[in-house]
Amino acid sequence: MRIEDYALIGDMQSAALVGRNGSIDWLCLPKFDSPACFAALLGDKHHGQWWLGPADTGRADATRRSYRGESLVLESEWDTPTGTVRVTDFMPTRHVNPDLVRIVEGVSGTVEMATEIRIRFDYGRIVPWVRRSDGLLQAVGGPDSVWLHSPVPLHGGDYAHKARFRVNEGDRLAFVFTWHPSHEARPVEIDPFEQLAQTEQLWEEWLGQCTYQGPWRDAVVRSLITLKALTYAPTGGIVAAPTTSLPEDLGGVRNWDYRYCWLRDATMTLEALIGAGYLDEARSWRAWLLRAIAGRAQDLQIMYSVTGERRLTELELSWLPGYEASRPVRIGNDAVTQLQLDVYGEVMNSLYLSRVSGMEPDDRAWTIQRELIGYVEAHWDEPDEGLWEVRGPRRHFTHSKVMCWVALDRAVRQVERFGRTGPVERWRELRDRIHAEICHKAFDTARGTFTQSYGSAELDASLLMIPMVGFLPPEDPRVVGTIEAIQRELMVDGFVLRYPVQEDNDVDGLPGGEGAFLACSFWLAEALAMIGRKEEAVELFERLLALRNDVGLLAEEYDPRYGRMVGNFPQAFSHVPLIHVARALS
């Protein structure tokens, strides 16, 4: 299936991808970054999959599907010659162990159904030992164990378990898949129908806090639900996406693991949640941040695990062929070791906005912020790998320098607005010096635009953020010139590229091309709105909204060469600017 053929379900600790045809092809347990027990997404059914649908339709796509109201409960319906059947998929709020529930309901007539489940641990590498116990299946492999409650008899063969069964109008049959550590006692069974009602109630109550009431409410709400689903409830950490190695270039090597908490992505997510009225999430994230980055400022990483772990060693899984032969499949991410100076600005800006939004002061948070500013003072003038985590040589990226300016600016504002203590005169002087240097070294006067890095002629979509962070006012001719240059030179088929990707361009140090990062096109829409070109902004925004799949989700990129989504899915970095643009245009 295509990337956009999947829907997301989750319990705010992990997540699964459910295909249009009723197949669950991706599920990592017990956490977002745990090894997958269904990994067909990056291989085939033999790497783990759970299919459930009408028996005699050749695993056809559902006739229709949607989320139930404003929730993360997925409903898929098939119309067959003999009747209509509905499958409801969800993951209830976790009590002790993670559960995945699939409820089959006869809507009309009689439908012959079938299911096939292949449990594989460690990303499809381990075929578990399976036995029956009190009518349930138990699968064990190393540290992992799964109990499957099936309302119909399952028959084993070919390292899978299968069943055919008939559903009449009004029938409701519930399958429950429960993971737990293999050394622990059998988990307590849940009531799937009771959990369904509680899950719907949870989402209804959470969405009741949403303050956005503009014309794009449906899109904003679905994006907020997606961001909430990517939040690890026990700690408040926010992952960039629930998947790894979905390619940025089909068949290529640009395949990365996004199941971690990038400080940049998380801070942008936090801003979107704060703007929609969700301060509790802001408090949880601030607590996660302070735990994760505790220690010396020079040890700050650009990303951490959902629990705050720092060692995210990148490995290649040779036994997985990759999504549409896009290899290698990677887990872990070596970008964790990179120097990305913009992160300091993102963190300082987020903590400042938290205070402006009404969050209570935290002395420990300010102590850490002063440590971060001290590091910026000492290292702002160094080259880095930048926002896009290039694997080519370090450069003096303009966006990184702008965000160093942001870090100092927000420190000064904390002193001026909230009475914090610090060497504010020194901070002001350095802030102004960085500003002057950027305007001198990163601006191409002949073309009237800022450039990707000092001395470079290339453009970069991150330059669109210059007015958004307050570096220059939107009406400044240099801002307008940069926006117009990006429209001329970085737009392909109506979408904005991150930067030119060419064989003779060694910026990112990687072969092959890529799609258009959706965040960049959303940034352009917001920038156009800021300079008063609202009609253009709305047109672009509506075009981007039309790219969402049938259940309102976006991947990291859209590749106009193929007319398809590419990259990890669903991607927080795409849904966050959607919310920002909707608010800006409203």
CA angle 318–310–326, rounded 5-degree value: 25
- With cut-offs at 50, 70 and 90, classify the pLDDT of residue 134: confident
Tell me, yes or no, whether 242 and 321 share the same domain.
Answer: yes
Domain termination site, one of 180, 204, 228: 204
Q: Tell whether the model's pLDDT for residue 503 goes beyond 60.
A: no
Q: Are residue 393 and residue 509 in the same domain, yes or no?
A: yes
Instruction: With H, G, I as helix, E, B as strand and everything else as coil, classify residue 16.
Output: strand
Give me the number of domains the chain comprises.
2
Q: Could you tell me if 125 and 231 lie in one domain?
A: no
Q: List phi, psi (to 5°) of 477.
A: -55, -30
Q: Whole-model pTM?
A: 0.94
Does 438 lie in the same domain as 414?
A: yes
Burial degree of 521 (CB within 10 A; 0-12, 13-18, 19+): buried
- Indicate the helix (H) or strand (E) that contains 101: strand 99-118
Supply the range of the domain harboring residue 271.
215-585
Q: Which amino acid is at 366?
A: W
Amino acid letter, residue 163: A
Q: Are residues 402 and 503 in the same domain?
A: yes
Round to whole Å and give the CA distance between 277 and 193.
31
Are residues 87 and 228 both part of a single domain?
A: no
Instruction: Give the pLDDT confidence score for residue 294 in this predicted structure.
Output: 79
Whether the ω angle into residue 328 lies within 30 degrees of 0, i.e. cis, is yes
Tell me the β-bridge partners of 129: 140
Q: 430-456, pLDDT tens digit by residue?
A: 999 999 999 999 999 999 999 999 999
Mean pLDDT of the chain: 93
Residue 65 near residue 75 (C-beta atoms within 8 A): yes
pLDDT of residue 504: 52
* 14 contacts 32 by C-beta, under 8 angstroms: yes
Q: Which of 204, 236, 264 is the last residue of a domain?
A: 204
Distance in angstroms (rounded) separating the CA atoms of residues 523 and 479: 13
Query: What band does 389 get if pLDDT is binned at 50, 70 and 90?
Result: confident
Better-scored residue on pLDDT, 288 or 428: 428
Residues 158-180: b if buried by 16+ CB within 10 A, e if exposed: eebbebebebeeebebbbbbbbb
Does residue 299 sit within a domain? yes
Range with the poorest average pLDDT among 54-63, 86-95, 383-392, 474-483: 383-392
- Rounded Cα–Cα distance for residues 577 and 219 (Å): 12
Task: Using DSSP, state whether 494 is helix, strand or coil.
Answer: coil
Looking at the domain assignment, is residue 199 inside a domain? yes
Q: Residue 277 gets which letter from DSSP? A: T
Q: Which two tokens stand for residue 218?
A: 């449906």
Band the pLDDT of 141: cuts 50, 70, 90: very high
Rounded Cα–Cα distance for residues 446 and 460 (Å): 17
Range 402-417 burial, b when 16+ CB lie within 10 A, else e: bbbbbbbbbbbbbbee
In a domain, 549, yes or no: yes
Which amino acid type is present at position 444?
A: D
Assign 379 a pLDDT band (cuts: 50, 70, 90): very high
CB neighbourhood size of 382 (10 A): 12
CATH number of the domain enclosing 145: 2.70.98.40
Res. 361 pLDDT band, cuts 50 70 90:
confident
Q: Are residues 244 and 321 in the same domain?
A: yes
Same domain, 109 and 232: no
325 shares a domain with 198: no
150 closest CA partner among 171, 170, 174: 174
| Alpha carbon separation from 326 to 103, 244, 254, 256 (Å, rounded) | 34, 12, 8, 11
Q: Is the residue at 110 inside a domain?
A: yes
- Structural domain includes residue 209: no
Same domain, 409 and 483: yes
Q: Is 469 left (phi over 0), alpha (psi -120 to 50) or beta?
A: alpha
d(CA 357, CA 270): 11
Percentage with pLDDT > 70 across the chain: 98
Please give the average per-residue pLDDT across 222-246, as a whole number.
95
Q: Rounded distance, CA 1 to CA 33, Å?
A: 23
Asked if 247 and 566 count as a contact pair (C-beta separation under 8 A), the reply is yes
* 26 burial type by CB count under 10 A (0-12 exposed, 13-18 middle, 19+ buried): buried
Which residue among 163, 181, 204 closes a domain? Answer: 204
Q: Which two tokens stand for residue 164?
A: 């055919």
Nearest to 397 by CA among 378, 382, 407: 382
CATH code, 289: 1.50.10.10
Bridge partners, residue 23, by sequence: 51
524-576 pLDDT tens trace: 999 999 999 999 999 999 999 999 999 999 999 999 889 999 999 999 999 99
Whether residues 306 and 175 share a domain: the answer is no
Residues linked to residue 19 through DSSP beta bridges, in sequence order: 6
Q: pLDDT class for 365, splitting at 50, 70, 90? A: confident
C-alpha of 265 from chain center: 8
Same domain, 519 and 375: yes
In a domain, 210, yes or no: no
Instruction: Please list, in sequence order, all residues whose beta carbon lies within 8 angstroms of the beta carbon of residue 511, skipping any fewer than 6 positions away.
Output: 252, 253
Would you say residue 321 lies in a domain?
A: yes
End-to-end CA distance of the chain: 36
The alpha carbon dihedral of 507, 508, 511, 512 has a sign of negative
